[in-house]
Amino acid sequence: MTTWKSIRCSPAQLRLDVTLCCGQAFRWRRDEPSGEWRTAMKGVVWRLKQEENDIRYRIEMGKDQAKKPLNAESFLRDYFQLDVDLVSLYENWSSRDDTFKRVSSNYSGVRILRQDPVENLFSFICSSNNNIKRIGSMIEKMSQTYGEFLMELDGYKYHDFPLVSKLADERVESQLREMGFGYRAKYINQSAKKILDEHETADWLFSLRKLSHEEARRELLQLPGIGPKVADCICLMSLDKTESIPVDTHVQQIAEKLYGLKGKGKSLTGKLYQDIGGHFRRLFSPYAGWASSVLFVSDLRQLQIQRKRPREQ
């Protein structure tokens, strides 16, 4: 039986509410009324709660899931990259850029997760021309359908994220289409097949951590449904490329409104994509991707609504 334990960690170093629902991971859910954040990973259910100076945590295991030993604390330290001192980074970025200083003051504790590349990759194939809310429900359906069932907790069924081999099955494309995935259904199925065909196992994805940003990016771009932006998301969020800057519509708007960077038209050309990334890298290196994610969060209307909720009652 597991019990609650805690890791010393201030909200300035990590804010669960913003970090877990700002569109980098899509399977965390807030449980009410406990206020816990819950998800399934590595064969167990994770329960987290933010306290004043600690992150409290515990894991739940199903009956036959004591297979492999799992050090929960070291997993969480790795997943949240707690060795990275976020407070120092904010100070550094703020000292180098007044705009960041002003904008970030309302968004402390926004941290890049070190995710599983498989989940990260297939989640972000779903992200194209889509919104965070719907991406979340799509990933949820995918996990319920193809991921291993772990256990039920408080009436909710928890599944691991699907194995690549499950997503490579012939029937997956039509099934995902029926589930409302649209044109992304084909990309998911084809990318899964291609990974297994050309690289034997999904371990290949983890091996990209050892490559440079440019090399890893070039590999990812070979997969269907993965363009420059999604490749940079994967590089940043699961492959340790801290300088990777995914430029989406939000980052583009911030670059234009707050930093005066704009192209000739309103479309995001390859040149503008590189200019924006280059500008932020000059400002915020070597953790430029982390800094740009803070700016990204500040532009999310979805979060601004959520932030007001607790005060209204």
Partner DNA sequence: TGCGCGCCTTGAGG
Partner DNA sequence: ACCTCAAGGCGCG
Q: How far is the CB of 210 from DNA (least distance, A)?
A: 23
Q: Report, in Å, the least distance between residue 2 CB and DNA.
A: 31
7 touches 82 (CB < 8 A): yes
In the chain, alpha helices (H): 16-19, 72-79, 86-96, 98-104, 117-125, 132-146, 164-167, 172-178, 184-199, 203-207, 213-220, 228-238, 249-259, 270-284, 288-298, 301-312
Specify the residue, 1 or 305, whose C-beta has the smaller distance to DNA. Answer: 305
Q: Which residues contact 260 (CB under 8 A, 6 or more apart)?
A: none
Residue 109 lies near DNA (rule: CB under 7 A): no
Query: Is residue 35 a contact point for DNA (CB under 7 A)?
Result: no
Question: Does 257 help bind DNA (rule: CB under 7 A)?
Answer: no
Residue 158 or 273 having the CB closest to DNA: 273
Q: Which of 27, 58, 229, 241 binds DNA (CB under 7 A)?
A: 229
Using the rule CB under 7 A, is 246 a contact of DNA?
A: yes
In contact, 167 and 111? CB cutoff 8 Å: no
Q: Alpha carbon 253 to chain centroid distance?
A: 21
Contact residue for DNA among 5, 56, 177, 209 (CB under 7 A): 177
Instruction: For DNA, give the closer residue by CB, 165 or 302.
Output: 302
Pick the catalytic residue from 229, 241, 257, 308. 229
Question: Is residue 166 among the annotated active site residues?
Answer: no
User: Is residue 308 part of the contact set for DNA (CB under 7 A)?
Assistant: no
CA distance 13 to 109: 5
C-beta neighbour count of 68 within 10 angstroms:
7
**Interaction mask 180-199, DNA, x per CB under 7 A:** xxxxx-xx------------
Amino acid (1-letter code) at residue 136: G
Does 263 contact DNA by CB under 7 A? yes
Which positions from 124 to 163 touch DNA by CB under 7 A, shown as an x/- string?
Answer: ---xxxxxxxx-----------------------------
Q: In this structure, are residues 119 and 162 in contact, taking their beta carbons and an 8 Å threshold?
A: no
Least spacing, CB of residue 24 vs DNA, in Å: 4
Which of 137, 120, 135, 133 minimizes the C-alpha distance to 41? 120
Q: What are phi and psi of 213, to 5 degrees?
A: -55, -50
Q: How far is the CB of 299 from DNA (least distance, A)?
A: 8
Q: How far is the CB of 60 from DNA (least distance, A)?
A: 28
**Beta carbons of 142 and 122 less than 8 angstroms apart:** yes
Closer Cβ to DNA, 6 or 145, answer by number: 145
| Active-site residue set | 229
Binding residues (CB under 7 A) for DNA: these are: 22-24, 127-134, 177, 180-184, 186-187, 221, 224-231, 233, 246, 248-251, 263-265, 267, 269-271, 293, 296, 300, 302
